[in-house]
Amino acid sequence: MSATIIDGKAFAEKVRTQVAAHVTRLKDEHGITPGLAVVLVGEDPASEVYVRNKGKQTLEAGMNSFEHKLPAETSEADLLALIDQLNTDPAVHGILVQLPLPAHLNSDLVINSIDPAKDVDGFHISNVGLLGTGQKSMVPCTPLGCLMMLREQLGSLSGLNAVVVGRSNIVGKPMAQLLLGDSCTVTIAHSRTRDLAEVCRRADILVAAVGRPEMIPGDWVKPGATVIDVGINRIPAPEKGEGKMRLVGDVAFASAAEVAGAITPVPGGVGPMTIACLLANTVTACCRANG
Ligand code: GUN
Q: Which atom of ligand 1 is nearest to the CA of 140?
A: 6
Å from CA of 198 to ligand 1 middle? 31
Q: How confident is the model at residue 291 (pLDDT cuts 50, 70, 90)?
A: confident
Active site residues: 54, 98, 121
Q: Which atom of ligand 1 is nearest to the CA of 142?
A: 6
pLDDT of res. 14:
98
Q: Given a cut of 90, is residue 95 above it in pLDDT? A: yes
Q: Given a cut of 90, is residue 232 above it in pLDDT? A: yes
Could you give all domains of the chain from N- to C-terminal order, each with its CATH number? 31-117 (3.40.50.10860), 141-271 (3.40.50.720)
Q: Given a cut of 70, is residue 1 above it in pLDDT? A: no
pLDDT in tens, 111-151: 999 999 999 999 999 999 999 999 999 999 999 999 999 99
Length of the chain: 291
Å from CA of 224 to ligand 1 middle? 31
Mean pLDDT of the chain: 97
Q: Mean pLDDT throughout 149-170?
A: 98
Å from CA of 65 to ligand 1 middle? 17
Q: How confident is the model at residue 285 (pLDDT cuts 50, 70, 90)?
A: very high
pLDDT of res. 16:
98
Please state the residue numbers annotated as binding site for NADP(+). Answer: 166-168, 232
> Ligand 1 atom 3: the closest Cα is on which residue?
99
Q: Which atom of ligand 1 is nearest to the CA of 278?
A: 6
50, 118, 278, best to mutate for ligand 1 pocket (most atoms within 8 Å of CB)? 50
pLDDT in tens, 4-56: 999 999 999 999 999 999 999 999 999 999 999 999 999 999 999 999 999 99
CA angle 156, 267, 108 (to 5 degrees): 75
Question: pTM (2 decimals)?
Answer: 0.97
> Ligand 1 atom 1: the closest Cα is on which residue?
99
Q: Mean pLDDT throughout 246-264?
A: 98
Q: Mean pLDDT throughout 50-78?
A: 98
Handedness of CA 254, 252, 163, 171 (dihedral sign): negative
Say if the ipTM goes beyond 0.85. yes
Q: What is the dihedral of CA 141, 125, 80, 168, to 10 degrees?
A: -50
Q: Given a cut of 80, is residue 289 above it in pLDDT? A: yes
98, 110, 277, best to mutate for ligand 1 pocket (most atoms within 8 Å of CB)? 98
Å from CA of 98 to ligand 1 middle? 5
pLDDT in tens, 181-214: 999 999 999 999 999 999 999 999 999 999 999 9
Q: Mean pLDDT throughout 74-79?
A: 98
Question: Which H or E run includes 273?
Answer: helix 270-289
Q: Are the C-beta atoms of residues 226 and 200 closer than 8 Å to each other?
A: no
Q: CA-to-CA distance for 49 and 172, rounded, in angstroms? A: 23
